[in-house]
Chain A
Amino acid sequence: MTDQTPSGTLPGDLPARPPRRLGRRGTVQLVMLALLLVLPVAADLLGHPYYVTLASRLTLIAMAAVGLNLALGYGGMVSFGHAAYFGLGGYVAGIGAYHAFDATAFMGMFPGSDNLLVLWPIAMLACGLLALLIGAVSLRTSGVYFIMITLAFAQMVYYFANSWPTYGGQDGLPIYIRNQLPGLDTQDPLTFFLICFAGLVLAMALTSRLMGSRFGAALTMARLNDTRLATAGITPYPVRLVSFVISAMITGLAGALYADLNGFVSPSMLSWHMSGELMVIVILGGVGRLYGPLAGAVLYISMETLLGGLTEYWQLFLGLTLLGVVLFARHGVMGWLAGREPHG
Chain B
Amino acid sequence: MAEAVLALEGLHKRFGALTATDDVSLTLRPGEIHALIGPNGAGKSTLIAQIAGSLRPDAGRILLGGEEITGLSVAARARRGLGRSFQVSSLAEPLPAIRNVMIGVQAQAGHSFRFWKPAERDPRLIEPALAALARMGLAHRAWTPVAELSHGERRALEVACALAMKPRALLLDEPMAGLGPEGSARLTELLESLRLEVPILLIEHDMQAVFRLAERISVLVAGRVIAHGDGDTIRRDPQVRDAYLGE
Residues of A within 8 A of B (CB): 1, 4-6, 9, 11-12, 14-18, 209-210, 212-218, 220-221, 224-225, 227-236, 238-239, 242, 343-344
Contact = CB atoms under 8 A, between A and B. Distances in A.
Contacts of B117: 213-214
B203 to A, nearest CB: 16
A86 to B, nearest CB: 23
Contacts of B165: 232-233
Contact of A14 (B52, B121, B137): B121
Interface string B92-130: 111110011011101110011111111111110111001
B34 interface: no
B34 to A, nearest CB: 20
A343 B102 contact: no
Given A11-B127, A215-B113, A231-B74, 10 more contacts: A4-B137, A5-B139, A15-B139, A213-B116, A214-B114, A231-B162, A233-B107, A235-B76, A236-B75, A344-B99
A5 B106 contact: no
Contact of A343 (B95, B108, B114): B95
A236 B78 CA distance: 13
B24 interface: no
A205 to B, nearest CB: 11
Interface string B51-65: 010100000000000
16 contacts: A1-B134, A11-B127, A14-B121, A16-B140, A209-B116, A214-B106, A214-B112, A215-B114, A217-B106, A229-B103, A231-B74, A233-B104, A234-B103, A234-B112, A235-B73, A343-B145
A228 B108 contact: no
A233 B78 contact: yes
Interface of B: 52, 54, 73-76, 78-79, 84, 86, 90-96, 99-100, 102-104, 106-108, 111-123, 125-127, 130, 134-135, 137-140, 142-143, 145, 161-162, 165
A258 to B, nearest CB: 26
Given A225-B90, A231-B84, A233-B165, A214 B111 contact: yes
Nearest to B107: A233
A9 B120 contact: no
B123 A225 contact: no
Most buried by A among B92, B111, B135: B92
Nearest to A10: B123
B118 to A, nearest CB: 5
A214 B161 CA distance: 17
The 6 closest A-B pairs by CB, nearest first: A233-B107, A233-B78, A11-B123, A224-B92, A235-B75, A232-B104
A108 to B, nearest CB: 38
A221 to B, nearest CB: 5
A242 B113 contact: yes
B113 A5 contact: no
A212 B91 CA distance: 20
A224 B116 contact: no
Contact of A216 (B100, B119, B125): B119
Given A4-B134, A225-B92, A228-B161, A233 B79 contact: yes
A105 to B, nearest CB: 35
Contacts of A239: 112
B140 A6 contact: yes
A217 B115 contact: no
A294 B115 CA distance: 23
Contacts of B74: 230-231
